[in-house]
Amino acid sequence: MWREAINRKRDSLERLQNSWNQAFSAITEPLTKKKTTKKGKLTQDLAVKRYFSISAATRLAALQTFYQNQVQNFISLVKIHIAERKMGVRSPCPRLNVELTMEVAKELIEKAAEKSEKLLFEE
């Protein structure tokens, strides 16, 4: 059973990484394709560096934090479900949802980029 749980968690994290990669491509693709003036190129280069400075460790930490938050939400829903069952209320059993939507993935990428910027400026 613990092997199955480990495999499920690994699969979930892989799906989260794939969603991250899709959102990252959606954010960075327009930045790398535009032809701009010299002044615009400087700001574009800074934006590109901002996103590409996100380390693998920062990405993994952001995804694991998201995963842990989803697990905590699931646990609270299960507790509510159990309490409702004891009172005789029938409700559907909650499911663990670790799907990462494009909007949430973009928010996570922005937060990770801010964190990476802070680390770069501190050095």
Domain layout of the chain by residue ranges? 2-122
Per-residue pLDDT, 28: 86
7-54 pLDDT, tens digit per residue, is 999 999 999 999 999 999 998 887 777 665 555 566 667 777 888 888
- φ/ψ region of 88 (left if φ > 0, alpha if ψ in -120 to 50, else beta) reads left
Per-residue pLDDT, 34: 60
Average pLDDT of the chain, as a whole number: 86
For every residue of 15-56, DSSP letters joined together read HHHHHHHHHHHHHHHHHHH----HHHHHHHHHHHHHHHT--H
Q: Residue 65: pLDDT above 70?
A: yes
Per-residue pLDDT, 36: 57
